[in-house]
Amino acid sequence: MGLNNPLKIVMLAAEASPFAKVGGLGDVIGSLPAALGNLGEKVSVIIPAYRMVLSGSFDLHPCGKVSGFDVPMKSDSAYASVYQTRFERTDVDIYLIESPRYFDRSGIYTDSETGDEYPDSMERYVFFMKSALELLPRLEQPVDILHCHDSHTSLIPGLLKINHRADPFYAGTRTLLTIHNIAYQGIYSKESLDYAGIDSSHFFPMSPFEYWGKVNFLKAGIELADKVNTVSRTYSMEIRTSPEFGMGMEEVLRRREDDISGIINGIDCNEWNPETDPLIPACYSIHDLSGKAECKKQLLQYFGMPQLPGRVPLIGIVSRLTDQKGFDLIQEAVGEITNLDLQLVVLGTGQPQYHSLFRQLASKYPQKIAARFSFDNALAHRIEAGSDMFLMPSRFEPCGLNQLYSFRYGTVPVVRATGGLADTVVPYGSGSGTGFSFSGYSSSEMMIAIRQALTVYSDPARWRALQIRIMSQDWSWDKPAREYVQLYRSIHL
């Protein structure tokens, strides 16, 4: 293929904003395809048609070329019907695979009532992967690159090599697997290969499909994809060199280290733009930050907190409330945090112990601490705009997006230097740096970084210079999209 010919790329993922989103994966699939399209590539996306999508206000219509088809599932079969639409203001087609049996659920990955993962998760995503591979030849659109995202689609390189090896449609197709979070690997019983239609002869010790007597979808993808990447350079190194980060995959990754790279995520700079954001009470810019003060005032009012006398910073957190996100460090440092001259607002859901912690703190320190336990996109925008600092003390963080949103809104990040946080936040120094960071995973190091941030905040001129510096950065998808094109072309030579 000539360098000037557009690549035909199909992305496969379990979620895509705005149709279905749980976390950063949804944001990436909602933004990267349009950026690739702007570079002249031909991109389409396939995701499941969850109940929330079909019942939403999206302009979906049945796919004209494909009415539907049966997908073999072990000794049974399930019917796949297909919907189609486009991402708003783009030429990117998105195909949504419907199955009432597998996707007519209240949640995406978990039951919204119990919080538990669906017991048939393996079947659901095997069905999705097989359906996607059956759909593409029916669309009669040749594919150069199948770009698979996380464990929910990582069996596709294996399905392609085994089940579709004689299919002329896929003769020139290559695969890329992107790991957004290696903690979620898709580990199931050997029976999952029966559902996938992969003969048991492919399951033996040290084979791509075997992992401690079970099948690990992510491992199969790592071993069988043409190339693998992660969502930051540091995370790419961490998961290859440390059991703490690799979570059992470090040796598998080391065997393929020449084929593994890291590309930091971008953000949707139209959605996350303080100059035009309709979700915040007052817009502002790098040239006039007065609107940010109004956003802070109204955010405090929303949480029922007073504006304390003097120059008191407001720290924001929007996160899953889990150990991975560093909330054990916050719990350890509660005494120090509450003694400091600051205010803290928290938005998120997660482990019950942290819900309890912040309820107790909000009750005991109503002037200083408040929390909302929900997923609320509009409130997330208001916290980014109204906070002075944003705290992300993650144990591990493949990329992280909130620190990038914070940059856009002149909200200074305080982070642990791991994964994408290490790649994006330059430690503050005299006249340089873009935030405050700490290396060791300890509450004492976190508090040193917070105190350093408070010291700089106490000097309005220094703080204003820091805000200008972080708001001047470009974290759009333009550069990452160009890196992905280079990676695709290195695969599809």
Mean pLDDT taken over the chain: 95
Q: List the structure tokens of 213.
A: 């007597």
Asked whether 188 and 120 are in contact (CB, 8 A), the reply is: no
Domains of the chain: 8-266+478-491 (3.40.50.2000), 290-471 (3.40.50.2000)
| Rounded mean pLDDT, 129-137 | 98
| Global model pTM greater than 0.85 | yes
Distance CA 350, CA 222 (A): 29
Distance CA 6, CA 9 (A): 9
- Percent of the chain exceeding pLDDT 90 equals 92
Asked whether 54 and 103 are in contact (CB, 8 A), the reply is: no
Q: Exposure of 64 by Cβ count < 10 A (0-12 exposed, 13-18 middle, 19+ buried)?
A: exposed
**pLDDT tens track for 360-391:** 999 999 999 999 999 899 999 999 999 999 99
Greater confidence (36 vs 2) lies with: 36
Instruction: List the single range of 108-122, 204-218, 225-239 with lowest mean pLDDT.
Output: 108-122
Q: What's the pLDDT score for residue 3? A: 58
**pLDDT tens track for 429-443:** 867 899 999 999 999
| Rounded mean pLDDT, 265-274 | 95
**pLDDT tens track for 392-428:** 999 999 999 999 999 999 999 999 999 999 999 999 9
Distance CA 402, CA 160 (A): 36
- For residues 429-442, one letter each, b for 16 or more C-beta atoms within 10 angstroms of the residue's C-beta and e for the rest, the string is eeeebbbbbbeebe
| Rounded mean pLDDT, 213-230 | 98
CA 395 to chain centre: 16
**pLDDT tens track for 23-81:** 889 999 999 999 999 999 999 999 999 999 999 989 999 998 898 999 999 989 999 99
Q: How does residue 5 score in pLDDT terms, banded at 50, 70 and 90?
A: confident
Q: List the structure tokens of 50.
A: 């969850």
pLDDT(2) > 60:
no
Stated length of the chain = 493
Instruction: List the single range of 110-114, 149-153, 310-314, 375-379 with lowest mean pLDDT.
Output: 110-114
CA 271 to chain centre: 16
pLDDT(1) > 70:
no
| 344 phi, psi to nearest 5 deg | -140, 130
| Rounded mean pLDDT, 302-315 | 96
